Amino acid sequence: MEGKDFFVKMVNNEKGKGLFSKRAYKEGDVILEEKPVVSCQFSWNSDYGYLACDHCLRPLETAEENAQRLAGNSNIVLPHSECCETNKNLTTECPTCGVKYCSVECQNEAFQRYHSTLCLQSRVKDENHPLTQLNETWKQMHYPPETATIMLLARMVAMVNQANDKQHVYSMFSQFCHRTVNDTHEIAHNLLGEKFVGQIDVLRGMMEKALNLEYTAHWFTPDGFRSLLALVGTNAQGIGTSAFSRWVRNVSALDLHKDQRIYIDKLIDRIYDEMEEVVGSFLNNEGSGLYILQSAVNHSCVPNASVEFPYSNNTLVLRATRDIQAEEEICTSYLEECELERSRYSRQKALSSLYLFICRCDKCQSQANDPDVTSDEEVDASS
- For the segment 2-54, what is each residue's pLDDT rounded down to a tens digit? 677 889 988 876 667 899 999 999 999 999 999 999 999 999 999 999 999 99
Regions of the chain short of the pLDDT cut 70: 1-2, 13-15, 177-185, 189, 194, 375-383
DSSP lists the bridge partners of residue 305 as 320
3-state secondary structure of 320: strand
344 and 232 co-located in one domain: no
Mark which of 214, 237, 260 sits at the end of a domain.
Answer: 237
Same domain, 115 and 233: yes
In whole angstroms, what is the distance from residue 91 CA to residue 240 CA?
A: 19
- The verdict on 224 and 84 lying in the same domain is yes
Evaluate whether residue 304 is within a structural domain: no
For residues 230 and 58, give the distance between their C-alpha atoms in angstroms, rounded to a whole number. Answer: 27
In a domain, 365, yes or no: yes
What is the largest distance, in Å, between two alpha-carbon atoms of the chain?
65
* pLDDT given at position 175: 84
Is 15 part of a structural domain of the chain?
no
d(C-alpha 93, C-alpha 240), whole Å: 21
Residue type, 212: N
* pLDDT value, residue 377: 53
Could you tell me if residue 323 is inside a domain? no
Residues 78 and 224 in one domain: yes
Within 8 A by CB and 6+ apart from 29, the residues are 319, 320
87 belongs to a structural domain: yes
Count of CB atoms situated within 10 Å of the CB of 195: 8
Distance, in Å, from the CA atom of 319 to the CA atom of 20, rounded to the nearest integer, reads: 13
* Of 203, 237, 271, the domain-final residue: 237
Q: Residue 192 is part of which domain span?
A: 38-237
**Closest among 142, 133, 156 to 209, alpha carbons compared:** 133
Identify the pLDDT of residue 17.
86
345 and 228 share one domain: no
Query: Residue 14: inside a domain, yes or no?
Result: no
What CA–CA distance (Å, rounded) separates 250 from 166?
A: 42
Last residue of a domain, one of 172, 203, 237: 237
- Whether 364 and 221 share a structural domain: no
Backbone phi and psi for residue 316, each to the nearest 5 degrees, phi listed first: -90, 140
Nearest to 296 by CA among 3, 13, 5, 20: 20
d(CA 374, CA 378): 6
| CB-CB contact of 305 with 21 (8 Å) | no
Let me know if residue 251 belongs to a domain. no
* Residue 346 lies inside a defined structural domain of this protein: yes
Specify whether the CB–CB gap between 31 and 6 falls below 8 A. yes
- Answer for the pair 336, 261: CB distance below 8 angstroms, yes or no: no
* Domain count of the fold of the chain: 2
SS (HEC) of 229-242 = HHHHHHHCEEEEEC
* 96-112: burial string, b at 16+ Cβ within 10 Å, e else: ebebbbbbeebbeebbe
C-alpha–C-alpha distance, residues 211 and 154, integer Å: 8
Q: Specify whether 349 is located in the same domain as 223.
A: no
With H, G, I as helix, E, B as strand and everything else as coil, classify residue 15.
coil
